[in-house]
Structures are given as structure tokens and as C-alpha cells.
A and B are shown apart, each in its own frame.
Chain A
Amino acid sequence: AQKVTQAQTEISVVEKEDVTLDCVYETRDTTYYLFWYKQPPSGELVFLIRRNSFDEQNEISGRYSWNFQKSTSSFNFTITASQVVDSAVYFCALSRINTGGFKTIFGAGTRLFVKA
């Protein structure tokens, strides 16, 4: 069975603080893909990053960074020097190639509040 756990339901920080969003996943597949999406109040889910199961290299994109560790089945997301515009719900997702297509399941999401 596949599962994505985002244990943090809500996080509140003050602008310029660093914040880490946790994601733990379960899968028996050897080939899988991990994603982070951002959902601002407007509702649209915005793709942030993808990692495949064979690429454990961490990545940095501006103020965003991701730490993928297969040994702990975690794919954590850090925002450095947070800004008010970072306020949103962030979803971690796990995908696999399934019979019939590409299936993605989402974690429950972490709601991030960044206060000015």
C-alpha cells in the first residue's frame, strides 16, 4: 500500500523565519516519484518539485530546498527566510506508474501561515 504522511497540520511562523515541512512516505515500489505542490487560497495547485526514487540528491531553488532520504522514507521541504506570500497549503505527493496510467496520492497537507 502507498501512503503519504504530513504530520504537521498547521505551522505558523513570522516573516523571515526558516520553516521545514515534513513528509514521510510508504511504498513497496522500487520506482516511484515524489512531488511537492503549493495550493494558495486561489485554489490552484502549483507544482514545485519532483524527485524520482533513484535520485537522492538534494535540491535548492532560491529560498526553497528539499531533502530526500530513502533510508528514512522522507522528503522534507524547507523554506528559508519565509515571506507572507509563502502562506498556502503545501502537499507532498507520491506517484507510481500503475496499470492504466500514472497515479498520484497526496498527503493531508500542511497549512503554512507566515505573519508579517
Chain B
Amino acid sequence: DTEVTQTPKHLVMGMTNKKSLKCEQHMGHRAMYWYKQKAKKPPELMFVYSYEKLSINESVPSRFSPECPNSSLLNLHLHALQPEDSALYLCASSSGTGVGGYTFGSGTRLTVV
């Protein structure tokens, strides 16, 4: 199994809603990542989990809350988002060092209304 699965593929939420994005991989990768990609822009790193511990937080607002319940799962909890948070949210995984490159999921396209 050489893929990263993200659910849901599309999500529309109001500014007062609470929702979660889910990411799953079964490649034995020990590093997992959340990226945010606005239209016609490159992906921007949000969080890095290494061996199930949060190792990098790129000064992301607290309305985004990551969680890594185990080595295969990565969640992104969303609360009180703003319309400007609408974007494609990409999950990726890699070996512990990451030097082999990332395997990306197909993303969740989020629209905040």
C-alpha cells in the first residue's frame, strides 16, 4: 500500500462549525505533514509530526489543531475558521528522515462560508 488517503475530499463549513480532516497511511512512514495550498500557489508547510510528536508548527493560528493518534493517522481539527482559510489541505508522509521525498494525499478542498 503506497498511498496516503485523505477524507473528506471536499468540505464546506461555516465559520462557527467544528470539523476535522483525516489522513491515513500504511507505508510505515514515521513523519507526517500538513500543508496548505491556496489556488495557483505552492504548498505551504503547517505542521510536522515526527514519530507521533509535533516537531514543527509554522506559527499556524490556533483555530487549526493537529493531532496524531498513532503512527498511521493524522488529523487536523478546524474551529472558527475564516473565509480566507479556504484552500486545498494536503497531507503527506515520509520516512523518518524525509530525504526520500514525500508521498502526498490528494487533499481536502475546504471552503469556509
Contacts and interface: CB of A to CB of B under 8 A. Distances in A.
Interface of A: 33, 35, 37, 42-47, 50, 52, 91, 95, 97-98, 100-109
B12 interface: no
A44 B107 contact: yes
A98 B57 CA distance: 12
A91 B35 CA distance: 14
Contacts of B101: 35, 47, 50
Nearest to B48: A101
Given A100-B48, A101-B56, A103-B48, 10 more contacts: A35-B101, A44-B104, A45-B90, A45-B92, A47-B103, A97-B99, A103-B45, A104-B45, A106-B43, A108-B42
A99 to B, nearest CB: 8
Interface in B58-113: 88, 90, 92, 94, 97-107, 109
Given A43-B107, A45-B90, A106-B43, A101 B55 contact: yes
Contacts of A44: 104-107
B23 interface: no
Interface in B6-56: 31, 40-45, 48, 50, 55-56
Query: Size band of the B side of the interface?
Result: 20 to 34
8 contacts: A33-B99, A44-B106, A45-B104, A50-B101, A95-B98, A97-B98, A101-B48, A103-B56
A106 B42 contact: yes
